[in-house]
Structure 1
Amino acid sequence: DMRERIAGGTLLAVLASLLVTSAPTVSPAAGAPASPSSAAAPRTERDGSTAVDEVAVPAVPAFARTHALGTTADPAPVVVARLTRRDTDEFGLVALTWTQGSAGPGTEARVRVREAGSWSSWQELHYEPSESPGGAEAAATGVRDGTEPLWVGDADGVQVRVLAEPGNAPTDVTLVLIDSAAQPSDAALAQRPGAAYLRNDLAGLRPTRPMAASGTRSITTSPGTSTAARTNGYAYVPKPDLVRRSEWGANPVLSGPCDSPRYGETVLAAFVHHTAGSNNYSEGDAPAIVRSVYAYHTQGRGWCDIGYNFLVDRYGNVYEGRRGGFRRPVRGAHSGDYNTNSVGISLMGNFELVQPNKRIRGALVRVLAWKLQSNYRAPRARTWLNGARFRNISGHRDAMSTACPGINVYSRLRDIRARVDNVMGGYDTRIHRRWVEKYGGRTGVLGAPFVGERKIDDGRGRVTVFEHGRIYSGRGTGAVMVNGRMLASYVSDYDGVDGRLGYPTIGSQPSSRSGVRTTRFEAGRMFSAKAIGARALWGPILHRYQRAGGVNSAMGLPLSKPKRIPGGRRALFQYAWIYYDRSSDTTSVRYR
């Protein structure tokens, strides 16, 4: 009855990389009646730190099904699958899965666990049919429906009941137990400077008032420092300090033989979720919870990766979720038909039961402000996703019939939108204005933002990657578009803004020669034509070429960049060479 369900439906692609340990003992607890499932010993597969056990939950025969209270008179859901008390290996996270599409809307799942020798009360595992992948990932063999996982910390026994309306019982119900061992890096994550920033700053983050009369608006980011925009009242919201996948321990083996990450066109909206798990975990537990959710989504549910794009713990730490690039519109598995062009942010906890604290709220505000501002989305506006209209910041329950993200978060979304709006102060950057006014915005030549606007590492400018090109904005250069073959060559052959050419200063323009276009840069010029591709010239060789008539000269079009030779450089043209002699600081032309 045991199956390790890995994305793609097979273990063969990953068993060579997994350490298979001895099967744990699963036996009836003292005094518990025997059960048909007691003979089913689950196999444990480890990725070095995470164990995933799966146990079949026996179905209750139709003639023996009773209401949860022990009667058959009530037409409410009846117990359709049951696992009596069981001893297990230690585990920290529990969930249930079943055959995709087999559960009706009234399905309920409940568990109780044994911790430190005592059994807990019954706890509901929330069934979220809409929290799933889409497209090819959803159709892959081995994908299963299931509940939200429940973090229990350190348990060694379990009991299960599944209830459903008559005729709508889920089939092949399986208990998933996950144990993610502590890693040395877990405790160290809380000591990072970024973590301290989140605790000190985001815990007290409050909506700020509009910009001062000077035209500059500041947002305090840590004691003694500020982030300020110089134009139009908005402040550039920095990327939150993320706990990267490598830091929290995302082992790629668990993703199995899945395809590469899939992307949308852009980020149009954000869905806020909660994990519906424990509210009492420690900061050191949080990375293990993220690893466990990752293992559950990939091993228990058969998905390609963790479903969320980001997760936020109750201490304000923000975790990178699904792989593919945290700045890109990676398609997650969090909102069913609305995964594409949205970002899923899950708050770690059950916010049906408790209020979100200041740290988790502040971190959520910062992630939303960064993600929406960089993609030029207004937090209080609405948008269309797959034929349905949503607020740009929505709760999971806005997309599907679910309690997620919990009433205590959902009731605060209006305030969260206001806080995000105040933190952003807008998004009318130089790049945004050029994109809208000159290039037609999302429906124009560049398309939508694919990688949102960001600060370039050299500190001199910013860039937005659109579907069909980029706009760079540097100090003193304005906002300039580069696209097509010139962009490809600029990035791959000339190292972009870090290379010899520097920032673009004048975008692609037609030259005096038909079919030839040029783009100017701080330290050179690029020429593009079908016959030559894209070639760049700079320095004395460019000056000599321009003095001779450039693209209309007898030398023709450039076929190479200025290359180093002993004593100088030379560049090849269609009908000539230009040489530069360093010792004499002179150029010469030799026709071929």
Structure 2
Amino acid sequence: MLAAGLPATVAQAEEDHPGLQIVSLDGTDITGRQFAMVALRGTQELPDNVEIQVQRPDGEWAPWQPLETDHAIDNKTEPLWVGDSTGLRVRGADGLSVALVDPGPEDGMRREMPVHTREPVVISRAGWGADESVREACFARQGIGIEYATTIKAATIHHTAGTNDYAPGDSARIARGVYLFHAIDRDWCDIGYNFLVDKYGQVFEGRIGGLEYPVIGAHAGGFNRFTFGVSMMGTYSTVAPSEAQLNAVAAVVAWKLAGNYRLFNGATTLISAGGGTSKYPAGTAVTLPTIFAHRDVGNTDCPGTVAYNAMPALRQKVGNRTGFWRGGPIWHKWTEAGGEAGPLGSPYRAESRTGRDGRYTTFANNTKSIYWSAATGAVIIGGAIRDKWGQLGFEMGALGFPVTDELTTADNVGRYNNFELGNGSIYWSEATGAHVVLGAIKQHWATLGAEQSYLGYPTSDQYETAGGLRSDFQNGYVFYDTATGQTSDHRNS
């Protein structure tokens, strides 16, 4: 279940959307609608013992079923999956309203879902059919965007508190329904969770950007920063999550924690931001397991008693999947540089594959990186030099991987990295910015004394000109004649 801990001043979006209708309850049947999920909403504490009955497309009314209200947030329940329906009866909730969520037909789910190329397989937002215009409109109205922490420190385990009675083909529809309800009715602009996992072991991308980056979700009031939320579709208060579901949750958590160099059986201290559902007032330092349950920080049963009792087994499953990441070259390079206390700071983007059989991790709020390949080893690159390299295509571009850490120039004014291809380097100074020098032109400049020569620092990348190639410097330029293969340097006039 969710607990966003959002400020009470955030306006709630009341307007209808094609996938979400708000209907007032006046004691009469609601008919002629199309929906598959139902949520109850009110302006004060919701009553107990609310029951609903839905009408199927064939006109038959299904049996009455309870609608859980014990853990409503802002007097709104989480949407309950009821399957394709056209009518609704509610008893025990006079004077309230319901949100009817239509996540679209099953055919709206891609038959061949695009996935992100990584372990584990994650069904992308495009794969489950997220309507990104909903998120974008909400961001524009609120004047916000995707919010990031500086790193990931822990995983929070949830359940959606919805039905356990769904087929594999329903799961993408449930994801779409949760998205519409969280984004529009709760006004969170997106899904609160970073991942959703169904009972069949399918993993769905949740809040946008949260796969690679430390995106701040809306899943654990007071503790959304530095955590990522994984929610199991269903209710696990009296029944256990399936083995496939637990294994998939473990795979997601292992990938995120190991990629951010966090121990599965470790502990972390988080500072509560407070909020109505948090157990802890704002400013309270709370030490938690690296993998903890929502109920550990919130006034909630989530992820259900049976799932909560399975937390030790889940942690062990995560441990079995993390591998020996402390033996990795990027982790070693980072720790040699001082780890989190050093200039690189905390991991920002989880360790990932590069396009050329390498790996990389970003640090220091995405301003620095360590890149590794078997040929070059682990190398630190950052700032304007990394940005320039990125403009050229990173390791897939003309320079290939970096082969040196970012180094200080001989005059102690600038910085540079050397690269594996084309005898290339990128030099930076505050006065000139970052520029590429290559091949014969770089060699000629170096024989003159590089930045300590009369030419100074490069002020342009190498470019084509009549008869050859040229790089400009602070006080002149170097020309490479393609016909003769000769280089020459020239002072500015």
TM-score range, shorter chain: 0.7 to 0.9
Q: 2:295·2:302 contact (CA, 8 Å) conserved in 1?
A: yes
Q: 2:122·2:204 contact (CA, 8 Å) conserved in 1?
A: yes
- In structure 2, the residue matched to 1:210 is none
User: What is the CA distance between 1:476 and its match in structure 2?
Assistant: 2.5
Structure 1 position 150 matched with structure 2 position 67: no
TM-score for the superposition, normalised by structure 2 = 0.86
Q: Which of 373, 376, 390 is the equivalent residue of 1:474?
A: 373
Looking at structure 1, the residues matched to 395 and 241 of structure 2 have their Cα atoms a distance apart, in angstroms, of 43
Q: 1:465 to 1:500 in 2, by over 3 A?
A: farther
- What whole-Å deviation, never above 9, does each CA across 1:120-167 have from its counterpart, x for those lacking one? 2331324435x6xxxxxxxxxxxx54112210112322214259xxxx
- In structure 2, the residue matched to 1:22 is none
**AA at the equivalent of 1:437:** E
Looking at structure 1, the residues matched to 115 and 460 of structure 2 have their Cα atoms a distance apart, in angstroms, of 45
Looking at structure 1, the residues matched to 414 and 486 of structure 2 have their Cα atoms a distance apart, in angstroms, of 28
Q: 1:161 to 1:563 in 2, by over 3 A?
A: same
Q: Whose Rg is larger?
A: 1
- In structure 2, the residue matched to 1:591 is 491
Q: 1:378·1:426 contact (CA, 8 Å) conserved in 2?
A: no
Q: 2:218·2:224 contact (CA, 8 Å) conserved in 1?
A: yes
Aligned residues: 457
Structure 1 position 553 matched with structure 2 position 433: no
TM-score for the superposition, normalised by structure 1 = 0.72
Q: Which of 31, 53, 63 is the equivalent residue of 2:21?
A: 53
Q: Which of 48, 69, 72 is the equivalent residue of 1:108?
A: 48
Q: 1:127·1:148 contact (CA, 8 Å) conserved in 2?
A: no
Looking at structure 1, the residues matched to 208 and 270 of structure 2 have their Cα atoms a distance apart, in angstroms, of 22
- In structure 2, the residue matched to 1:219 is none
Structure 1 position 317 matched with structure 2 position 202: yes
Structure 1 position 511 matched with structure 2 position 409: yes
- In structure 1, the residue matched to 2:419 is 521
Q: 1:109·1:127 contact (CA, 8 Å) conserved in 2?
A: no
Looking at structure 1, the residues matched to 232 and 133 of structure 2 have their Cα atoms a distance apart, in angstroms, of 25
Q: Which of 337, 349, 353 is the equivalent residue of 1:455?
A: 353
**AA at the equivalent of 2:417:** T
Report the aligned-residue RMSD.
2.5
Looking at structure 2, the residues matched to 530 and 505 of structure 1 have their Cα atoms a distance apart, in angstroms, of 23
- In structure 2, the residue matched to 1:262 is 147
Q: Which of 85, 88, 94 is the equivalent residue of 2:38?
A: 94
The farther-off stretch of 426-435 and 283-292 is 426-435
**AA at the equivalent of 2:356:** D
Looking at structure 1, the residues matched to 115 and 130 of structure 2 have their Cα atoms a distance apart, in angstroms, of 20
Q: Identity percentage over the alignment?
A: 31
User: What is the CA distance between 1:465 and its match in structure 2?
Assistant: 4.2
User: What is the CA distance between 1:92 and its match in structure 2?
Assistant: 0.9
- In structure 1, the residue matched to 2:280 is none
Q: 1:433 to 1:162 in 2, by over 3 A?
A: farther
User: What is the CA distance between 1:185 and its match in structure 2?
Assistant: 4.3
User: What is the CA distance between 1:293 and its match in structure 2?
Assistant: 0.8
Q: 1:513·1:551 contact (CA, 8 Å) conserved in 2?
A: yes
- In structure 2, the residue matched to 1:442 is 340
- What whole-Å deviation, never above 9, does each CA across 1:210-251 have from its counterpart, x for those lacking one? xxxxxxxxxxxxxxxxxxxxxxxxxxx943222111221211
User: What is the CA distance between 1:85 and its match in structure 2?
Assistant: 5.2
Q: Which runs of 5+ in 1 are unaligned?
A: 1-6, 16-43, 59-82, 132-143, 164-171, 196-236
Looking at structure 1, the residues matched to 110 and 453 of structure 2 have their Cα atoms a distance apart, in angstroms, of 67
- In structure 1, the residue matched to 2:276 is none
Looking at structure 2, the residues matched to 451 and 115 of structure 1 have their Cα atoms a distance apart, in angstroms, of 47
Q: Which of 132, 141, 151 is the equivalent residue of 1:252?
A: 132
**AA at the equivalent of 1:103:** E
User: What is the correspondence of 1:419-434 to structure 2 with a 5 Å cutoff?
Assistant: 419-428=317-326, 429-434=328-333
User: What is the CA distance between 1:257 and its match in structure 2?
Assistant: 3.2
User: What is the CA distance between 1:412 and its match in structure 2?
Assistant: 1.2
Q: 2:214·2:349 contact (CA, 8 Å) conserved in 1?
A: yes
Q: 2:106·2:169 contact (CA, 8 Å) conserved in 1?
A: no
Looking at structure 2, the residues matched to 554 and 536 of structure 1 have their Cα atoms a distance apart, in angstroms, of 18
Looking at structure 2, the residues matched to 514 and 534 of structure 1 have their Cα atoms a distance apart, in angstroms, of 16
User: What is the CA distance between 1:449 and its match in structure 2?
Assistant: 1.2
Q: Which runs of 5+ in 2 are unaligned?
A: 1-9, 272-284
User: What is the correspondence of 1:367-378 to structure 2 with a 5 Å cutoff?
Assistant: 367-378=252-263
Q: 1:8 to 1:304 in 2, by over 3 A?
A: farther
Q: 1:516·1:527 contact (CA, 8 Å) conserved in 2?
A: yes
**AA at the equivalent of 2:357:** G
Aligned-partner SS, 1:419: helix
Q: 1:108 to 1:375 in 2, by over 3 A?
A: farther
- In structure 1, the residue matched to 2:269 is 384
Runs of 4+ residues over 4 Å off in structure 1: 7-11, 83-86, 192-195
User: What is the CA distance between 1:427 and its match in structure 2?
Assistant: 2.2
- What whole-Å deviation, never above 9, does each CA across 1:475-494 have from its counterpart, x for those lacking one? 222211112222222223x3
- In structure 2, the residue matched to 1:121 is 64
Q: 1:265 to 1:535 in 2, by over 3 A?
A: same
Looking at structure 2, the residues matched to 575 and 367 of structure 1 have their Cα atoms a distance apart, in angstroms, of 54
Q: 1:518 to 1:417 in 2, by over 3 A?
A: same
Q: 2:48·2:70 contact (CA, 8 Å) conserved in 1?
A: yes
- What whole-Å deviation, never above 9, does each CA across 1:379-437 have from its counterpart, x for those lacking one? 11111121212111111111112121122221111111111111112321211121122
Aligned-partner SS, 1:338: coil
Looking at structure 2, the residues matched to 413 and 566 of structure 1 have their Cα atoms a distance apart, in angstroms, of 69
**AA at the equivalent of 2:386:** L
Aligned-partner SS, 2:335: helix
**AA at the equivalent of 1:458:** R
User: What is the CA distance between 1:496 and its match in structure 2?
Assistant: 1.8
User: What is the correspondence of 1:32-431 to structure 2 with a 5 Å cutoff?
Assistant: 45-46=17-18, 50=19, 52-57=20-25, 83=27, 86-87=30-31, 89-99=33-43, 102-103=44-45, 108=48, 110-116=50-56, 117-128=60-71, 144-155=74-85, 156-162=87-93, 173-186=96-109, 188-189=111-112, 238-255=118-135, 256-258=137-139, 259-386=144-271, 387-428=285-326, 429-431=328-330
Q: 1:86 to 1:509 in 2, by over 3 A?
A: closer
The farther-off stretch of 480-489 and 532-541 is 480-489
Q: 1:559 to 1:320 in 2, by over 3 A?
A: same
User: What is the CA distance between 1:345 and its match in structure 2?
Assistant: 0.8
- What whole-Å deviation, never above 9, does each CA across 1:282-313 have from its counterpart, x for those lacking one? 11111111111111112222221111111111
Aligned-partner SS, 2:247: helix
